[in-house]
Amino acid sequence: MTLLAHISDLHLDGSKRAARRASRVMDYLRALPRPVDALLVTGDIADHGEEAEYEEAAQILTAPFPVLSCPGNHDVRPAYRKAFLGEAPEHGPINQVHHIAGTAILMCDSTIPGHDAGRLDTQTLAWIETTLTALPKDTAALIAFHQPPVELHHPLPDSGMLEEPGDLADLLDAHPQVAAVLTGHAHTAAASTFAARPLIIGPAITWTLRMPWEGDAAADRDQPPGLAFHILDEDRRLTTHYRVVL
């Protein structure tokens, strides 16, 4: 069994508000009686993509468990690499595979620099295919990236969703070991399906999306930050529990 925490959209911008909300969630996770196997952060770590924002993120996200991340549309690859990952500040896609408690977790770069919408480009799709093919057949896998590949029925996230999602769906048809797809970007905890698998959208730290039936103003800044707990069991069944942190 693999136990994962999942947060998204911290939008750290140097403000006390952003840092306080992210720190509350991390304090909660660090104080759990049983630690999670890893924390997934599905993008928009920084608000402006500046090195100082990633340096702050690295401090806030320090934990006794692995922290796995992928970029979002607000992130800037060179600064993200240099100040958050400690790597050379290159411009190419940031794709990483992690092996956590018997599960392969592919953190994928779906960003299009300068755009809100996402796309898994040819290089990233080839990396996903190669990575999954190399896994032992009995190894379960999860795929995580920023922009959801389906409509969520709100004009804001639906105007910046993953483009050409059929490319990923076709790839997943050949890889039944992929148990679920995990994303962020929408600022709302949500669950759907994609390519005959669970699609789980992690809640945002910075603010929560109001759906059309909840009011006209999209950003609810009074809602507390949220997180998800994912349990992947021996049958490759994913169960998700959502929490808010007061």
Q: Give the model confidence (pLDDT) of 224-234 as tens digits.
A: 999 999 999 99
**In DSSP terms, which residues pair with 192 in a beta bridge?**
199
Q: What is the mean pLDDT of residues 88-112?
A: 97
Question: What band does 68 get if pLDDT is binned at 50, 70 and 90?
Answer: very high
Q: What is the mean pLDDT of residues 86-91?
A: 96
What pLDDT was estimated at residue 43?
Answer: 98
pLDDT tens, residue by residue, 15-51: 999 999 999 999 999 999 999 999 999 999 999 999 9
What pLDDT was estimated at residue 244?
Answer: 97
Q: What is the pTM of this model?
A: 0.97
Question: What band does 99 get if pLDDT is binned at 50, 70 and 90?
Answer: very high
pLDDT tens, residue by residue, 142-192: 999 999 999 999 999 999 999 999 999 999 999 999 999 999 999 999 999
Assess contact for 67 and 61: CB atoms under 8 A.
yes
CA distances from 109 to 66, 94, 143, 190, 223 (A): 19, 5, 11, 21, 28
* DSSP letters for 155-176: HHHHTT-BS-HHHHHHHHHT-T
Here the tokens at position 196 are 């005959």
Rounded Cα–Cα distance for residues 144 and 229 (Å): 14
Question: What band does 10 get if pLDDT is binned at 50, 70 and 90?
Answer: very high
Mean pLDDT, all residues of the chain: 97
pLDDT tens, residue by residue, 190-241: 999 999 999 999 999 999 999 999 999 999 999 999 999 999 999 999 999 9
What pLDDT was estimated at residue 7?
Answer: 98
Rounded Cα–Cα distance for residues 116 and 113 (Å): 8
In 105-236, which ranges are continuous DSSP H helix?
A: 122-134, 155-158, 165-173
Nearest to 108 by CA among 191, 14, 171: 171
What pLDDT was estimated at residue 74?
Answer: 98
